[in-house]
Amino acid sequence: TRVDKGGHKHFMAKEIAEQPMVISDLLQAYLSEDGHSIDLPEGGIDFNKIDRLTMVACGTAFYACLTAKYWFEQLAGIPVEVDIASEFRYREPPVAGRTTAVFVSQSGETADTLAALRYCEGRADSILSVVNVPESSIARESDLALPIYAGAEIGVASTKAFTCQLTVLLLLALKAAETKGRLSAEELTDKLSLLRGVPGAINQVLEADQTFRAATRLLAESDNALFLGRGLMFPLAYEGALKLKEISYIHAEAYASGELKHGPIALIDKKMPVVVMAPKDQLFDKTVSNMQEVMARGGKVLLITDREGAAEAGDGVCQSLIMPEIDPILTPILYALPAQLLAYHTAVAKGTDVDQPRNLAKSVTVE
Ligand code: G6P
pTM above 0.95, yes or no: yes
What is the band of 1 on the pLDDT scale with cuts at 50, 70, 90?
Answer: low
The phi-psi region of residue 340 (left if phi > 0; otherwise alpha if psi is between -120 and 50; otherwise beta) is alpha
pLDDT at 42 over 80: no
- pLDDT tens for residues 294-303? 999 999 999 9
Contact, 131 vs 146, CB < 8 A? yes
Amino acid at 213: R
67 Cβ inside 6 Å of ligand 1: no
The length of the chain, given as a count of residues: 367
Supply the residues annotated as catalytic: 362
Give distance in angstroms: CA of 77 to centre of ligand 1.
Answer: 29
Write down the pLDDT at residue 41. Answer: 82
DSSP 6: T
Residues with Cβ within 8 Å of residue 28, at least 6 apart in sequence = none
Residues paired with 101 in a beta bridge: 54, 127
Name the residue at shortest CA distance from atom 7 of ligand 1: 59
The answer to whether the CB of 58 is under 6 A from ligand 1 is yes
Q: How far is the CA of 109 from the centre of ligand 1 (A)?
A: 9
Centre of ligand 1 to C-alpha 59, Å, is: 5
pLDDT tens track for 79-97: 999 999 999 999 999 998 8
Q: In the predicted model, what is the mean pLDDT of residues 158-165?
A: 98
> Is the CB of 61 within 6 Å of ligand 1?
yes
Residue closest to 306 by CA, chosen among 265, 276, 286: 276
Q: At 325, phi and psi to the nearest 5? A: -70, 140
The answer, yes or no, to whether any atom of ligand 1 lies below 6 A from the CB of 132, is no
Q: How far apart are CA 282 and CA 21, in angstroms?
A: 30
158 lines ligand 1 (CB under 6 A): yes
- Of 155, 142, 76, the closest CA to residue 114 belongs to 142
Residue 259 identity: E
Nearest in space to 339 (alpha carbons), one of 198, 157, 70, 195: 157
Q: What is the mean pLDDT of the chain?
A: 95
With a 6 Å cutoff on the Cβ, whether 110 touches ligand 1 is: yes
d(CA 228, ligand 1 centre) in Å: 23
Ligand 1 atom, smallest distance to 110 CA: 15
Q: From atom 3 of ligand 1, which residue's Cα is the shortest distance away?
A: 59
In one-letter notation, the amino acid at residue 97 is G
**Pick from 115, 81, 123, 66: which is nearest to 98 by CA?**
123
